[in-house]
Amino acid sequence: MSKEKNKFERIAFVASDVPEAIEAREALIKRYGKTDPANADVIVALGGDGLMLQTLHRFINDKIPTYGMNRGSVGFLMNDYSEDDLRERLAAAEISRIHPLSMISTDSTGKAQKSLAINEVSLFRQRYQAAKLKVAIDGKVRLEELICDGILVATPAGSTAYNLSVHGPILPIKAALLAVTPISPFRPRRWRGALVSNKAHITISVLEAQKRPVSAAADHFETRDVVKVEIEQARAIELYMMFDRNHGLEERLLAEQFSY
């Protein structure tokens, strides 16, 4: 990260389109000024987890740290909202460094498209019939045929999102792992997923693609009628997420595992 340590004078504010977030942005601009994101030391995102992901994607190559404050319905990736002492909170914040996933999806016409995912890459059946998928890790087939509603590959940062809702494992933020988790698996019925190295190259091939069409999504970027999806960590891209001290992403992931 190229910004001077603990110095966040130039703050850019971005907000979701809900009234609470827009009002918060205007109030904070009055107190702390307004800076264009291209010239900012830090971006403060006002909204929910969806806005945080959108903001990280929008500035994914700029290496600007992002600090979220919750003005939405879901705020796992956000800090509590307050207009007071913002620069002091920024100076004391913990920084989590994360790498997104790279997805190369090839559709039925042979067109390949590359997308990035901060939380997860997901494959879903498009119609009423279950998908049939083949899963290979580093070129070796590990599942010849998985009949399911879909499958996802989650990063540690995304392991508490959709991955958790389909009973995937929560990964510590510093774990050198990815979660490969089935969505409503029918056969093999007892397969509940796997943990693989974050250096692994994962290839998911769609069997009977015309009869059982499948879509693929990298966060909110979707490709329809895919026949093959290749997934690996984009290690050259590093994102910086800021959290209030003692309430960082590592602590949140640990606390989530003991919630009931």
Residue positions in the annotated binding site for NAD(+)? 49-50, 119-120, 149, 157, 160-165
Query: Whole-angstrom Cα distance, residue 47 to residue 22?
Result: 9
Q: Indicate the burial class of 85 (C-beta count within 10 angstroms; 0-12, 13-18, 19 or more).
A: exposed
Query: Whole-angstrom Cα distance, residue 222 to residue 34?
Result: 34
Instruction: Report whether 109 contacts 126 (CB < 8 A).
Output: no
Instruction: Report whether 151 contacts 191 (CB < 8 A).
Output: no
Query: Whole-angstrom Cα distance, residue 22 to residue 15?
Result: 6
DSSP state of 166: T
Instruction: Report whether 230 contacts 104 (CB < 8 A).
Output: yes
Query: What's the number of CA atoms in the CB half-sphere (13 Å) around residue 64?
Result: 26
Judge whether 85 counts as a catalytic residue.
no
Write the CA distances from 163 to 84, 136, 184, integer angstroms.
35, 19, 12
Instruction: Report whether 199 contacts 233 (CB < 8 A).
Output: yes
State the catalytic residue, choosing from 49, 107, 219, 225: 49
Indicate the annotated binding residues.
49-50, 119-120, 149, 157, 160-165
* Residues belonging to the active site: 49
